[in-house]
Structure 1
Amino acid sequence: MLEQNQKIVLTGDEALDALKEIEYILISLHKMGSFYAEKPGALEEYRKATTDFIDDCAVTQRLSKVRTIISQHFDDSLGDDDLDDIERHFSDLKFWKPDQSLTGKTLETEALEISNGTIQQVTCKRNELLVVFTNQQDEFLLITFHNPIAFKGISAIGAETDGLFKEEELTLSQDAKYITNLENTQSYCFKATTSREIIFTVTSEGYSVEKI
């Protein structure tokens, strides 16, 4: 961890804003759990109430606000592994994902459009690189790059982009070229909204997108 990230300082207003959102979510869920615990056979009703609360009361947006309040104070300089301190600490997270679609079919690859939006989080795993992305409709998308062999980012977290694009040419290190068949890979990139500069690039065997 960078020395400047050893101690993160929030203003009083920032801390109160974060605590307010957490308190709303935590106490609301606690009250729902207590209420339905006293209703025999109300499991399905409890599940629906919980889902409706998450959807109707913007729980994901509230949590995203808390994350922004905290993460904006971190220095996002990249280390030798091309990760900043936040990305590195999150690298072992395992996100929920369905085994299959609701129809029982394999999830469709590249089915959802990735247009203008913001990169919220990047997590690297052994055979996947996960990017949490919010679009202009405040929807959260999980972009999973399959079997990535190379990636590079410059201050990507929190960056506003014009979406995901395919790159025409593969620009890989010699080591990366040795470990895979280039015929099965494609490079993808995110471009900054204002400057149109490439801020994040991934070379992988493909990707899939799902709402979260």
Structure 2
Amino acid sequence: MGIQRMTTDSKYSRSTILEALRVINEFVVSIDQLDRIAYDHGKEAWEREVVRFLFSHEIDKKMAKVRQFLSEPFSTELGPDDMDELERELADVPYWTYAEFEHAQQGTAPEASKGASDL
């Protein structure tokens, strides 16, 4: 069987769109405001506060919920490449990798991330 694709445009309710925008704004505006810490208190204080913010505001859970309802219209059927529609479309997203951390610890530059397909 061929690759299944989303066949119709999806229409979200105003409340659903507002919910997604609230989460996105909470993240974007907060990260922007957190930049002031770097100038006033240094990089280490900024890094600690970013981590505290992400976990105390449960940004990961909120973003996962947004991703879940934005993903609903897409086919989850696996194609011949053993990927569903979204995996295929998002294969080039430059995700963080553990190798980036290791390189940062060693002071070396990692190769550019090629996306989800090389995970």
Give the Å deviation of 1:73.
2.1
- In our comparison, the structure showing a higher alpha carbon Rg is 1
Alpha-carbon separation, structure 1, partners of 2:77 and 2:14: 26
TM-score of the aligned structures, taking structure 2 as reference length: 0.70
When the two chains are superposed, the root-mean-square deviation of aligned CA atoms in Å is 2.4
Alpha-carbon separation, structure 2, partners of 1:45 and 1:124: 34
Greater helix proportion: 2
Greater strand proportion: 1
Alpha-carbon separation, structure 1, partners of 2:7 and 2:66: 21
1:137 maps to: none
Question: Aligned pair in 2 of structure 1 residues 63, 3: CA closer, same or farther (>3 Å)?
Answer: closer
1:30 maps to: 32
Alpha-carbon separation, structure 2, partners of 1:10 and 1:77: 22
Alpha-carbon separation, structure 1, partners of 2:94 and 2:18: 29
2:44 maps to: 44
TM-score of the aligned structures, taking structure 1 as reference length: 0.42
Amino acid paired to 2:44? E
Alpha-carbon separation, structure 1, partners of 2:67 and 2:18: 13
Residues 83-116 of structure 1 show CA distances to partners (whole Å, capped at 9, x for unaligned) of: 221010122334322345xxx9xxxxxxxxxxxx
SS at match of 2:44: helix
Report the count of equivalent residues.
Answer: 102
Match of 1:17 among 16, 19, 32: 19
Contact 2:5 2:74 in 1 (8 A): no
- Percent identity, aligned pairs only, is 23
Q: Which runs of 5+ in 2 are unaligned?
A: 107-115
Task: Spell out the pairing of 1:6-155 with structure 2 (5 A cutoff).
Answer: 7-33=9-35, 35-36=36-37, 38-39=39-40, 42-99=42-99, 100=102, 123-125=116-118, 130=119
SS at match of 1:4: coil
Match of 1:4 among 2, 7, 17: 7
